[in-house]
Chains A and B, each alone.
Chain A
Amino acid sequence: MSAHADNIPSSRHPLVSYIARWLLTTNHKEIGTLYLCLSFTLFFIAGAFAMIMRLELFAPGIQFTQPDFYNQLVTMHGLIMVFGVVMPGFVGLANWMIPLMIGAPDMALPRLNNFSFWLLPFAFTLLLSTLFMEGGAPNFGWTFYAPLSTTYGPPSTDFFILGVHMMGISSVAGAINIIVTIINLRAPGMTLMRMPLFVWTWLITAFLLIMVMPVLAGVVTMMLTDRHFGTSFFEASGGGDPVLFQHIFWFFGHPEVYIMILPGFGIASQIIPTFARKRLFGYRSMVYATVLIAVLSFVVWGHHMFTTGMPLFGELFFMYATMLIAVPTAVKVFNWVATMWRGSMTFETPMLFAIAFVMMFTIGGLSGLMLALVPADFQYHDTFFVVAHFHYVLYPGAIFGTMAAVYYWLPKWTGHMYDERLGKIHFWVAAFAVNLTFFPMHFSGLAGMPRRIVDYSVQFADFNMMSSIGAGLLGLTQVLFLYIVVKTIRGGQKATAQVWEGAEGLEWTVPSPAPFHTFETPPVIAAEED
C-alpha cells in the first residue's frame, strides 16, 4: 500500500510533520476533508464578493463599487462558485464516500488524488491574486466571451487562463480516479446495478468531466494564442469568428451545469429513502434517467445562444432538445416524490435540505423550460430572469444538496451528532432567505433588468432591495453553518455506526467516526432480491 500519513518520521518538529501529513496524504478520507475545507473556504470568499455586489445593488445609483470593479466581482464570484465551491465540494464528498459506499479500501490512484487536490489551492490563489494586479482582475464574466476576454481582456487574463488550466487538470485527474475506483474496486457482490445512486451519479459526472474539461482547456488555449501568438480563432479581422467562441464554450458549458447537479441528484437519492424509511422508488429508471440527461446535455448548448442570429432550424433543434431534457429530469423528481409517498417520514436536517432541494430545483427547472422557448428567451436572455433560473438550480440545488450531504454524513466523519436544533434553524432561515434573494429576480428580469450591471433604473428598486436583504440574511446563515460544523467536529453526542434509523448501505457498517483505514478486506455483499 502506498505511503500514508502515519509513517512520516516522528523525529520532525510537530508542526512540520503536521503540514507534511496534510501535504503528502494519500488517504481518501483526508483528501476528502481537504477538498471540503477548500470548498468551504472559497464559499465564504466568493460569498463575500456576492455580499458586496448585493450591497451595491441595494439601491439604484453607484454607491460602493466602480463599474469595472463590479464587473470583476461578478466574474470572480461566478468563477469561484462554479470551479472552487460546487465542483470541489462534490469531489470531496466523492472522495470520502465512494470508497465507503462500494467497500473499497481507498481510491484506486491515491497519489494522483493528492496531486489533483493540491493543484487547486494554487489555481485559486492565482485567480484571486489577479484582483491585486495592475489593470484589475478579469472583468468579462464567468463565461469569458471573446472578444471581451481576448482583444479587451485585462493583462491578468493570462493568469486566469493558467488558473483554468490547473483546475481543468485537477478535475480530469480526479474524474479518472473516480472512474477507475468505481470500475475496479467494488467489493464482491457490488454489481453495477446495486451501487448506491450517489456512486452512479458520480460515475456519470466523471465521464462528463473527462469529456468537457479538455474542451474548456482548448478554448482557453485558443484565447491565449489569440492574445499573444497572432492566431485569430475568434478575431473577425483575421478571418475568425467570435461566435465560434460561444459554441465551443457552451459545448463545455452546458454539460458543466449538469456536472454541478448530478451528484446532487445522487445525494437526494441517498437521503430521501433513509428518512422516508422506504427503498428508493424506481432505482433503475433513476440510473437510466441520469445517463439520458448526460447524453442529451451534449446537444443542447445552443440554448445559450438563441440571440446570436442562429438560423430558424438551429433555434428549433436546440429548443426541442432542451425541452426533451425535462423528461428524464421529471422522472427523477417523480421518483423522489414517490419514494416519500406513504413513507414513515421524519424531518431531520438532512431530510429538510433534501426535500428543499427537490422542490426548489424543480422551480429552477421550470424557469429553465421558459428560457428554452426561443421567442421567450429573446426577451429573457441576459436579464435577471436568467440569474434567477440558475441560482435556483445552483443554490437550493447544488449547494443545498451539498449541505444535505454534510449533515447526513458529518456524524460518520466526526463521530459526533451535530446540534439538531441549530441545524433546523440553519435550514429554515436559509430556505427563507434563498427565496427572498432569488425569487424577486424573476420579476426584475421579466421587467427587463439586465444582468451583470452595477446600476439600474429606479423601477427595479423594490425587487432589488428584497434580494439584497435576502442575500445578507443568507450570508449570515452560512456563518451559523460554519459554527455548527466546527462545533460538531469538536464534540457532541456520540454517533452510532448506523447513525440514522433508516440508513442502509456499506458506509453505515463501519464505526463512527470512520477509522483511518476501512474495508482493507472487502466486505461481502449479501445477494438481495433486486
Chain B
Amino acid sequence: MSVQGTPQGHGKQAALLILLACSMFGFAFALVPLYDVFCELTGINGKTAGPVAVPDMPGPVVDRDVKIQFVAQVGKGLPWEFRPTVSQLSVRPGEMVTTTFYARNRAGTSVTGQAVPSVAPGVAALHLHKIECFCFERQVLAAGEAVEMPVTFYIDADLPEEISTLSLSYSMFRVPDVEPEQVASN
C-alpha cells in the first residue's frame, strides 16, 4: 500500500536521520573544544595564555600610555581575603611591569586556592604576556598566613590603538580536594 516507499525504505531513511541526530548530539560536545581553540586563537574570551618563554621578550618600549586596572574576586566558599595591592597602573607597551596581589587565609587551617585570570576587553588578552604569575600554580596558605603574590607581565606594541584601558582580573577559587574542610567560623 505504500506508494513510493516500502517499509524497508522507511527504515533506512529513519536510520540515516537518527544518525544525523546522534552526530548533532556529538557536535554539541565538540563545540566545547572548538570553542576553546577558537578563543585561544582569537583571544576573544579574555583567557590569557600561559607563561611566555624568557627569550620571547618585549620589543622596544613604545611611547603610549595604557591604563591597566586590577580586579580580584573570591570564589564561593574560599575563606580568603584577596585584593590587588595597587588598583591601577599606567604602563607603556613593551615595558616590563611587576605588581602584586595580597591574599590572606582567614581560616584556621591551610587552604589551597587557584586563581583564574581574565582580561577585558577580550582581544587585549592576546597582547598581555605574563612572564610570571601566581595563577600559574596553586597557592597554599597556612592558617592565618598572608602573602603578596607577584605578577610580571608586559603589553606588546600590537595592542590595538583603540584600547586605552584594560583590566586584568583574577577570580580565586578554592581547590577542593587538597585539604579537609575545617573552616574556622569567624
Contact surface of A with B, Cβ cutoff 8 Å: 1, 103-105, 108-109, 112, 151, 172, 175-177, 179-180, 183-188, 210-215, 217-219, 221-222, 233, 236-237, 239, 241, 243-244, 247-248, 251, 309-312, 314, 520-522
The answer to whether B173 and A236 touch across the interface, beta carbons within 8 angstroms, is yes
Tell me, yes or no, whether B54 is within 8 Å of chain A by CB: no
State the total of A-B contacts with C-beta under 8 angstroms.
120
Complex interface: chain B residues within 8 A of A103 (CB): 3
Minimal beta-carbon separation of A212 from chain B (angstroms)? 7
Task: Of the listed stretches B64-72, B101-109, B119-127, B144-152, name the one at the interface; the rest are far from the partner chain.
Answer: B119-127
Q: Are A236 and B116 in contact (CB under 8 A)?
A: yes
Bound CA span A76–B44, Å: 34
B10 engages A108 (CB within 8 Å): yes
Cα separation A237 to B114 with both chains bound (whole Å): 8
Chain B nearest CB from A20 CB (Å) reads: 25
Known: A108-B5, A311-B121. 5 other contacts (CB 8 A): A175-B17, A211-B20, A222-B32, A237-B116, A241-B47
Interfacial chain A residues near B123, Cβ < 8 Å: 311-312
Task: Enumerate chain B residues within 8 angstroms of A239, measured Cβ to Cβ.
Answer: 116
Closest 8 CB pairs between A and B? A218-B28, A184-B5, A237-B173, A214-B25, A214-B24, A215-B28, A176-B17, A311-B44
Question: Which residues does chain B contribute within 8 Å of A219, judged by CB atoms?
Answer: 28
Task: Name the CB-closest residue of B to A112.
Answer: B14
Known pairs A180-B13, A184-B2, A309-B120; A214 contacts B35 (CB<8 A)? no
Listed A/B pairs (18) with beta-carbon separation below 8 Å = A1-B1, A176-B17, A179-B17, A180-B10, A180-B13, A180-B17, A184-B3, A186-B3, A213-B24, A215-B24, A218-B27, A218-B28, A222-B28, A233-B32, A237-B171, A239-B116, A244-B31, A312-B123
Q: Are A522 and B24 in contact (CB under 8 A)?
A: no
Q: Return chain B residues, CB-CB under 8 Å to A237.
A: 75, 114, 116, 171, 173-174
The answer to whether B27 touches A215 (Cβ under 8 A) is yes
Known contacts A179-B13, A179-B17, A214-B24, A251 near B1 by CB under 8 Å: no
Q: How far is the CA of A212 from the CA of B27 in the complex (A)?
A: 10
**Contact (Cβ within 8 A) B9 A184:** yes
Q: Does A251 lie within 8 Å of B31, measured CB to CB? A: yes
In the bound assembly, the distance between CA atoms of A215 and B53 in angstroms comes to: 39
* Interface contact A244-B5, CB-CB below 8 Å: no
Name the B residues within 8 Å of A521 (CB-CB): 1
The answer to whether the Cβ of B86 comes within 8 Å of any Cβ in the partner chain is no
Q: Tell me, rounded to whole Å, the shortest Cβ–Cβ distance linking A529 to chain B.
A: 23
Across the interface, do B35 and A244 meet the contact criterion of CB distance under 8 Å?
Answer: yes
Which residues of B sit under 8 angstroms from A104, Cβ to Cβ? 3
Q: Are the C-beta atoms of A247 and B35 separated by less than 8 Å?
A: yes
B21 contacts chain A at the CB level, 8 A cutoff: yes
A109 and B75 CA atoms in complex are apart in Å by 52
Q: In the bound complex, do residue B21 and residue A213 qualify as a contact, i.e. CB atoms below 8 Å apart? A: yes
Please report the C-alpha to C-alpha distance between residue A221 and residue B20 in the assembled complex, in whole angstroms: 18
The answer to whether A180 touches B2, judged by C-beta atoms less than 8 angstroms apart, is no
Interface centre among B13, B26, B35, B121 (most CB of A within 10 A): B13
Tell me, rounded to whole Å, the shortest Cβ–Cβ distance linking B89 to chain A: 22
B22: which A residues are within 8 A, CB to CB? 214
Pairwise interchain contact B116-A248, C-beta atoms closer than 8 A: no
Q: Which residue of A lies closest to B46 (CB)?
A: A309
Interface residues of B in 129-170 (CB under 8 A from A): none
A214 partner residues in chain B, CB cutoff 8 A: 21-22, 24-25, 27-28
Q: Judging by beta carbons under 8 Å apart, are A186 and B4 in contact?
A: yes
Q: Smallest CB-CB separation from A310: which chain B residue?
A: B44
Known pairs A211-B20, A247-B31; A520 contacts B1 (CB<8 A): yes
From B3, B21, B26, A185 is in contact (CB under 8 Å) with: B3
Q: Tell me whether B31 and A180 are in contact (CB under 8 A).
A: no
In chain A, what residue has the closest Cβ to B175?
A237
Complex CA gap A212/B76 in Å reads 34
Contacts of B46 on A, CB cut-off 8 Å? 309
Given contacts A215-B25, A237-B114, A247-B35, contact A180 B75 (CB under 8 A): no
Taking the complex as formed, is B57 at the interface, i.e. its CB lies under 8 A from any CB of chain A? no
* Complex-state Cα separation, A314 to B39, whole angstroms: 12
Closest chain B residue to A105, Cβ basis: B1
> Bound state CA distance, A175 and B24, in angstroms?
14
Q: Is the CB of B3 within 8 A of A187?
A: yes
Chain A residue with Cβ nearest B78: A237
Min C-beta distance of A370 to chain B, whole Å? 25
Most buried by B among A214, A314, A520: A214
Q: CB-defined interface of B18-53 with A at 8 Å, one 1/0 digit per residue? A: 101110111111011001000000101111000000
The answer to whether A109 and B10 touch (CB under 8 A), given A237-B75, A237-B173, A311-B44, is: yes
Closest to B121 in A: A309
Cα–Cα distance between A112 and B22 once the two chains are bound (Å):
17
Are B17 and A248 in contact, with the CB atoms below 8 A? no
The interface residues of chain B lying within 8 Å CB-to-CB of A188 are: 3-4
Q: Which residue of A lies closest to B15 (CB)?
A: A176
B42 CB contacts on chain A under 8 angstroms: 311
- Set of chain B residues within 8 Å of A520, measured between Cβ atoms: 1
Chain A hits for B173, CB < 8 A: 236-237
Q: Which residues of B contact A172 (CB under 8 A)?
A: 21
Inter-chain CA distance A222–B25, complex, in Å, is 11
Chain B residues whose C-beta falls within 8 Å of the C-beta of A311 in the assembled complex = 42, 44, 121-123
A241, B13: Cβ atoms closer than 8 Å: no
How far in angstroms is the closest Cβ of chain A from B37?
A: 12
Please give me the residue from chain B that is nearest to A218 by CB atom. Answer: B28
